[in-house]
Amino acid sequence: MFLSVDASDERPLYKQVIDGVKELIARGVLREGMPLPSVRQVAGDLGVNLNTIAVAYRELQDEGFVNVRHGAGAVVAARSAQGAGEGELRKPLRTALTGFVLARFSDREIVALVRQELEWLRQKGGTL
Amino acid sequence: MFLSVDASDERPLYKQVIDGVKELIARGVLREGMPLPSVRQVAGDLGVNLNTIAVAYRELQDEGFVNVRHGAGAVVAARSAQGAGEGELRKPLRTALTGFVLARFSDREIVALVRQELEWLRQKGGTL
Amino acid sequence: MFLSVDASDERPLYKQVIDGVKELIARGVLREGMPLPSVRQVAGDLGVNLNTIAVAYRELQDEGFVNVRHGAGAVVAARSAQGAGEGELRKPLRTALTGFVLARFSDREIVALVRQELEWLRQKGGTL
Amino acid sequence: MFLSVDASDERPLYKQVIDGVKELIARGVLREGMPLPSVRQVAGDLGVNLNTIAVAYRELQDEGFVNVRHGAGAVVAARSAQGAGEGELRKPLRTALTGFVLARFSDREIVALVRQELEWLRQKGGTL
DNA sequence: GTGGTCTAGACCACG
DNA sequence: GTGGTCTAGACCACC
C-alpha cells in the first residue's frame, strides 16, 4: 500500500495512519467510492497491531471520510460528508506557521513552502 | 496574562501553554530577555496545577526558547538559540493544509488564510 | 533489575535513574533495540513513585538515548542518535578531577583510577 | 577576581562559585593562609546576590577548604583539613567518563583529555 | 499491558 | 520570593 508509518515520528501510529489516509484522499489517490485496503492487510504491511489500524479506520468513519460497511470493508465517503469547519482548521495552521516564524523563515519563504505543499497535494491521481 | 487554555482543545494543557508562549515570542509580545510570569502566577491565572506549568516551562527551556534559572525566574532566550529545522516543521504544515484541502478550500483561499495568519503573527508588539 | 537509587546521594532520584541507564548503555548491558523495563516495574523495584521514573524516561528520550512509544515500552535508541559534544563533557570531568587533586592524589594514581573505571565500563555485556 | 559565573552553565550560581574556588586552590592560585576576596567584592564583581556568595563560602568552610574568621574574612585552610575520601570522588568521575564513552571517545582519547586537564590543574601558581 | 497527563499537596533548593 | 523534586492517586491514550 501507499501508507507508511515512521517510528521516529512523534505522532502515535494510529494518528499517522489517519493523516496518511486523509492525505491520499486530498491528493485524489483515493477517490469517492474506492475501497480502502483491509485492516488486516494494512496492519500486515506496516507491521503494526490490527487494533491500531481498526482504531484509525473507526476515527476516519466518525469524521465522515470513509464508510465502513460490515463485512465489506471500508470505502471512501462522498465528498459532501467530508471536511471540517474553518474554525478547527486554523489552530493547527497557526501552530505550524509559528514554528516557521520562530525559525526565522521570511513570509515569502513560508508562502512558497505552502504553495509547494499545496501543489503536491493537488496533483490529481498522485504517485499511485 | 495573555495566555489561555481551553479544555475542549485536544492538546494537553501543558502543550497549549508551550504553544501559547511560542506564539507570544513569535509575535514579539515576549522579547529576548523579558521575564515570563512565574509558574505560580500562570497556574493561578489559568486555574491549573503548578506542576503542569512547570512541565511546560521545562520543555520550553529544553527547546531553547527560554532560560529558567532556579531561584530567579524564566526569561526569553536569545533568538539564536531558538528555532527548529525545516524538516520537523513541514509535517505539521502538511497536515494542516490537508485539512483545508479536504474541506474544499481553494488554493487561493488557503494562501490568503496563510497570509492572514502571518500578518497577525508579524505585527511586532502584538495586542499587548 | 540492575538499577539502584541511593537516598544519601545528592542527585535527585530521577537523575540517578538517568545516569544509571546511561551507564548500562555505555557498558553494553543495554544494547540498541533492547527494551527497558516498564516504568511501573522500575518504580516498584526501586520503591519510588511512577512519575519519578516517567520523568527519567522522558528525559532519556529527549536526549536521544531511548525511544519511548506510548502503548509500547521504551527501547534503547540507535547509537547514532546518542552522545553529546566534547564541550559539555569537559566541565564535569574537570570538576571530578579537581576533587582528586584536592584530596592529594598523584597524577599517576588518578590516571590509574580513570583506567580502572574505563575498564569497568568497557567490559561489553557487563555483570548482567 | 579570577572567578566567573556563566548563565548558560547548568549548575546553580553558588555551585559554580564553590567549584571555581576549589579549582583555584587545586591549581595553587590560592594557597594555604591566603585570604579570599570578601563576599561583597565577589558578589559585586560577578553581579550576583550577596547571599549567593555567602552560601558558597559557608559550604567551602563546612567542607574544610577555607576558614571564615568573624569580621576578618575567609582564608584558605591548611591542606590537611581539605579533601574528600576516594568513595565520594568516584561517582562523579564515573558519570563524567560515561559521557565520553557514550559519545564514542576511545580510551586513549579520554586518557589524553584527563592528562590535559590534570596538566592545567597542576601548573602551580596558575594564570594569576 | 504500556506510557501520558493532571491534580493536590508537601518539602527542598536557590537567589 | 523563585523554580525543583517527589509523592499519592486518579484517569486517559495507545498498542
pLDDT profile of chain A (128 residues), mean per 10: 87 96 94 94 94 96 91 88 84 97 96 97 66
Best mutation target, D5, D21, D24, D98, to test chain C (most C CBs within 10 A):
D98
Chain B residues lying within 8 Å of A9, measured CB to CB:
91
Using a threshold of 3 CB pairs under 8 A, tell whether chains B and A touch. Answer: yes
CA of B54 to C1' of F3 (A): 8
What is the band of D29 on the pLDDT scale with cuts at 50, 70, 90?
A: very high
According to the model, what pLDDT value does residue C1 have? 64
Closest CA to C70 of A12, A105, B27, D119: A12
Chain A residues lying within 8 Å of C67, measured CB to CB:
7-8
Q: How near does any CA of chain D get to the CA of B30, in Å?
A: 20
DSSP 8-state code for residue C6: -
Instruction: Return the number of CB contacts < 8 Å for A and C.
Output: 7
According to the model, what pLDDT value does residue D128 have? 45
Which residues are bridge partners to B76 per DSSP?
B66
Residue D8, phi then psi, degrees to nearest 5: -85, -5
Mean pLDDT value across residues B85-96:
93
CA of B115 to C1' of E6 (A): 36
CA–CA separation, B93 and A9 (whole Å): 14
User: Where along chain C do its domains lie?
Assistant: 13-81, 86-122
According to the model, what pLDDT value does residue B128 have? 44
Chain C residues lying within 8 Å of D84, measured CB to CB:
99, 102-103
**0.75 cut: is pTM over it?**
yes
More reliable by pLDDT, C85 or B32: B32
More reliable by pLDDT, B13 or D1: B13
CA–CA separation, A34 and A94 (whole Å): 33
> pLDDT tens digits for D95-117?
999 999 999 999 999 999 999 99
C67 touches chain A (CB under 8 A): yes
> pLDDT tens digits for D54-70?
999 999 999 999 999 88
Query: Which B residues in the span 81-100 are in contact with D, Cβ-Cβ below 8 Å?
Result: none
According to the model, what pLDDT value does residue A125 have? 57
Residue D117, phi then psi, degrees to nearest 5: -65, -40
According to the model, what pLDDT value does residue D2 have? 84
Query: Which D residues in the span 26-55 are in contact with C, Cβ-Cβ below 8 Å?
Result: 26
What is the band of C21 on the pLDDT scale with cuts at 50, 70, 90?
A: very high
CA–CA separation, A22 and D82 (whole Å): 68
Nucleotide nearest to B54 (CA to C1'): F3
Best mutation target, A5, A9, A13, to test chain C (most C CBs within 10 A):
A13
According to the model, what pLDDT value does residue B65 have? 97
- Chain C CA closest to residue D85: C103
CA–CA separation, D128 and C97 (whole Å): 21
CATH number of D13-81: 1.10.1200.10, 2.40.110.10, 3.90.1300.10, 1.10.10.10? 1.10.10.10
